[in-house]
Amino acid sequence: MKKFSALSLAILLSLGLHAAKAQTPAGEVKGTATAHTEASAKGVIAGAQLVLPAQATGGAAYVGAFKDAPATARNKVPVVVFLHGSSGLGLKAIGEWQQWLGSLGIASVAPDSFALPDRVTYKSPASKEMYEKIHALRRSEITLALQALQSQPWADMHRLVLAGTSEGATAVARYGGAEFAGRIIFSWSCEDNYFVERPDTAVVPGQQVLNVISSTDPFFSPTNTWLGNASASGHCARAFKDHPQASVVLIPGAPHTLLNLRAARQPVQGFLVDLLKP
């Protein structure tokens, strides 16, 4: 075994610490608002991205803002409430995924968290205190969406699914209400790490759960050198270890945004078809 002097060990440890620091990017936070006002709460839903399948409209599918949704419906259909990630609804993949859901006869509504003026935005890593304020903001949007759906002629309130990706998925994982038949957690690991004070994952008896995440997710897998959890597995299996209604799909080498990968769509389709059958 090669031996090192005390001085050599000190130098090596110092170099290791500097290397670890060098691998941690500089975070950035902009904006100050972290709670919805009365006006922004209305905007969250009014500007929500809505897709109604032909089964609901009785004609062409509707793709547009929630505020412009058809006032009548041919049929009630199942609905997915989808919480976007930190980049908002501008992410093209979300609209593509919603239209894919529409092709399956499933409506979807994606609330617009950025209806809040001066809403906090960030580049990770940031403080856990700031993240927790955003997680609370996102959780409030679930309630707003549920309230809005109750008056919609096309919404089958007995066949609701809650889904979200990344920042949005954290709120989905923590939501313990019984209004939803199931939840889909994209690109969040349900683990202790830099993004949360505590995971606080909700396990609802009898509720179906699907977690889909990359094995090399750049934020929440062990490949992230500044993850903040040396024992992380990078997925939600531990959080749901005693919950036989939960499944985990780990996609090798996938990017953080994986909604529309075939390897992600196939298990999601199977999950939804089985869950939402009349």
**Domain of residue 72, residue span:** 31-276
Task: Inform me whether the pLDDT recorded for 72 exceeds 70.
Answer: yes
Q: Is residue 23 assigned to a domain?
A: no
Total number of domains constituting the chain? 1
Q: Is residue 3 assigned to a domain?
A: no
CATH code of 104's domain = 3.40.50.1820
Q: Is residue 197 assigned to a domain?
A: yes
Task: Inform me whether the pLDDT recorded for 20 exceeds 60.
Answer: no
Q: Is residue 16 assigned to a domain?
A: no
Q: Is residue 4 assigned to a domain?
A: no
Q: Is residue 15 assigned to a domain?
A: no
Residue that wins the pLDDT comparison between 37 and 8: 37
Residue (of 66, 67, 63, 59) closest to 51 by Cα position: 63
pLDDT score recorded for residue 26: 87
24: pLDDT confidence band, cut at 50, 70 and 90?
confident
DSSP-derived pairing of the beta strands 121-123 and 107-110: unpaired
Range in 20-29, 151-160, 220-229, 252-261 the model is least confident about:
20-29
Q: What pLDDT digit, counting tens, does each position of 91-119 carry?
A: 999 999 999 999 999 999 999 999 999 99
pLDDT score recorded for residue 16: 40
Q: Is residue 234 assigned to a domain?
A: yes
Q: Is residue 245 assigned to a domain?
A: yes
The residues facing 163 across adjacent strands are 82, 184
Burial 168-192 (b: 16+ CB within 10 A, else e): bbbbbbbbeeeebbbbbbbbbbbbb
